[in-house]
Structure 1
């Protein structure tokens, strides 16, 4: 039985494959995150799609944190930079962009809900612009 030390592990992927990981992961993931942001821009002021928008943002944060975790594990295992760098960049961008936006979007949904309740109260009171 042979024990393999962390320093003896081979790189998880080649330099060329790292370009694909970073390019496709960042390109496809970034585009999907941008589309989710556009959907949030349309849905949040209207107070619709709360579960989907916040769930999507949370999904990107979780993917980002997992990517960061795997990147740090790769550093700890002595992987070359072309292995951990795309993982860390993707993780940093996903969690760094979508994480804070969850709080902003949640606050904007609260504002939209309050606006809807105020409008309903005005309709029920019969007080229409004098």
Structure 2
């Protein structure tokens, strides 16, 4: 009986240790960037939570619906190869090297752009471009 209890306790600990939580902010940013770079605006938009805020060049835009998130992602003129990414908790800061997308020419190719991402439950709730580099924000 003691052995059965011991084995049961070990099994519970193993299962608790293997619990799948939400993806890290860093992994969500990498997935979003990959989707955007492949011109997969639907998948990129799925990474945004309803009500996500986009802050760029002093403007704040709230993406209320999936359709708005698709339109915003589609309006981004540049792809971005991740040069660096640093995550801490639910926040990740990524620096991208901008380039053309399959269906649009980048208005700042070769420039670097940095954005702060806040991710909650595996979805982006804040996308905030920092600094003065990068192209102007898209309109939707």
Question: So what's the TM-score if we normalise by structure 1?
Answer: 0.26
- Name the one with the larger helix percent: 1
Question: So what's the TM-score if we normalise by structure 2?
Answer: 0.25
Structure number with larger C-alpha Rg: 1
Larger relative contact order (Cα-Cα within 8 Å, sequence gap ≥ 6): 1
- Name the one with the larger strand percent: 2
